[in-house]
Structure 1
């Protein structure tokens, strides 16, 4: 084997190993991002960048480990046709590769094709990156003109206030459709002709602040390095997902900086909405204010974030599973290059009780290792039989184990509840709190078993007596009712105003805010259409326990008949109700309704 063939062989195995390594890194990142959902975008951005860098480090370490181990691998022996010991002349047994070894050999033979396909894909990605850089450079030279004096003065004053010492040019462009940053050493901010029309000075300043935030954070350089990593690992979807998370968190970081420098998130959100109406055709290597999910960014600026979809308990469970999988995969990878034929015979001896004497003397005419084997005292099960029994036992255990379902989902399955009776002794002692129960729900929706997880001792019996009488709709999996486990929270309060519980808002901890299920497009007022006017109306409302809007009012008016049409549309919205302690409750929201003539 030549040096080139050897390196191609090692690199091919490195690419194959990265398939599970990249998936594991992405899974860990998803769990960490869920746990950090309440933290700053800057922290999540750093974690995402670290995950992408970890992919490259893992690739390099794997290449080194495979290169070291590959040279010392021993050949495996051949298997006897019947898979049993004994019955061959002179009681000799020839040990053969397992199915895992056969799979390894098949992959080994396909490595040249793997490396060739990767090389073609990498060349295409590098070509795409080069064309993107060239197109970004042309944007600075084609169809540009100096910005107006007022815009330039506002831009330069903001740059000095932010503390950017490098020279930054502001140009109008007839090519780009949204504001964008091009370049790192000599950055240029491109503003589409007419893009700032209709925006107030504060909104224009916020858009400039967003682009200057990209420059201050050196995001253009990070974007190029990110594209290089994407080109190297283009074949793995997890790398593209991590890269998408980096771009999303990058935009949120710049939004936060823009708001901190200008001080008005609502006006900035309105400016982003107007930019959203302009579709971008800028090269992927540019950085623009229209990046990321505009709906998510605007909702975030208006403090209407959706709660994290992943519960902390589920995240910790997935993290534990991921670490176990990582350990198993690492051990398998190590064993792949360290087990010899002697080790395999000794393992068989340990499992089956067959006594063997290993003769490792080299044979000039054969690569096989030979063992003299004594016949077993009693018949043995084959490896295939043992595997079949183990799989069948595992499936039987899984059938008996209830499936875990979150409290918020099971809250929507409730048919009837029984309110707990407040124990008189607990009331006199003014004992309050929440009892948390672990419940098993049968296929018919009955509460089968309850286990106390936490709560005041004086309230436990009352909570259990009440919850045992609750009734659920059967939980369906693949159309069949199944047994599930969940948690149920029962809250006790002595307050005389227990019926006047404050509605959920985005600031309430322990509340899950409503989720929009269906929306209605507002009718455009005829007088506004004739006047070619556009506007934004913010409607405040209450969503009741059934997900129906109540108490609608105009929070921010736009006039021209927009307010009435916005109220009519929002009144027909339908939501998944908010929940508190797993039960539906009332919540307060603000909905932005946009009227735009295209």
Structure 2
């Protein structure tokens, strides 16, 4: 899955979670359900459903049919030369995914630090011996057992651990009246009995994974609040002393704040204090019949909300490619042209426009090949692609490309920086003058990478068959501007040059590429003349179905003239055109 597709799916998934959690959070408010025990289960189920959404829905998977032509038609395609590097500029999708991944790693590291902090608290805390009578009584009444220690590092009671659970009490708890101590101890022992620390750790991991989603953080807050309200009511039921317990909550609420990011069940989060006290003082009894009716209705509404989210923001898998040998496609034809130098490129596009939209036949394919070779002898019409439209029809596209280069090799290393340029020229000198073949290009690149491991190369388009084949060697580092005899050409980064745009034609997303769910970045290197027009445009990388639309748009761009010491100069720069299915092409 490409970075762009992964980013689009992440946006769609985030929107689905937002719809689901928004509906799930609004329902208890509208239905006036105030029952902590069932609300805890409800919000936990909502969190699990949000995490499992990608696995609980069908993914849209576009179908791309690759049809091998019949053996009696056309010449088989020869593999293209080594693609040029995409450059050093990081696409937005990759950068955004990198930021999200870095945030998740930071959150997981913070959790690791939290676990180490808890371990230090356990070691540094002093055992509470002998146990106060109220604490000992709470252990008996709750039926739970845990080690109790006193720690000055915590601002309130903290419980953590599964196999060896421990309760840390701040010294201030020992100054509370016996009734308050009993209530606080019952609260912590109930957390031990319920194994709440395991749920807390799982919720922290979910929060770390989806740290960027505000709806997830809100949902985790509701789960923590509901859990504390459940335990509060259980404490009041055991102690039968509501007022002293409320007073203990208020007394501890005035202490130093606790770290909510600690992977442990905290006795008190200040932002939950008012809600917890309100729940204790205004406890409402809800009948079982009403609870069943409310949650049955909620389940139905949530199912509809999830369906709307999935339909409105579908997740997309990589296209399914089917290969059909010798099949005869039907419906209409589209022809793309790429890789030819000017003016051949313009003539070829004008000629191929005559075939656009015609119904496919085997004779039409032969006619396309003959017409292409009238303009550029040896032009290739390789494997054709079929795209199945939502209506069930097939669109057949032919990619017309130049013939394989042939002729003596010349190597251009002018776009490398020194000292790599001199070293590369020395290493590759023995290849110049030899007849070009794809095997020779592989040898050249193997040698080139001994000088620069990131080097890539490709043959430039030939104007005439048999003339020298110029193999351009570039590096993934920023390219160097080709030399100019009068020296009046400078190199400017793409980001800086883009700010000088005065006229910017917007590329049209090719319908065939949209139907095939093809997206990505088309990169060019360009020479901008002294008047600000695009004088020379070289395709570096990009999908053939996107390259033509991008090139037609970029050729119309104009820039402010660039001045050097008051004199207009030519500019060598790189241009990226990003095609994403979620939006129009991004420049």
Q: Under a length normalisation based on structure 2, what TM-score does the superposition of the two structures give?
A: 0.46
* Structure with greater Cα Rg: 2
Q: Under a length normalisation based on structure 1, what TM-score does the superposition of the two structures give?
A: 0.45
Structure with larger RCO (C-alpha < 8 A, sep 6+): 2
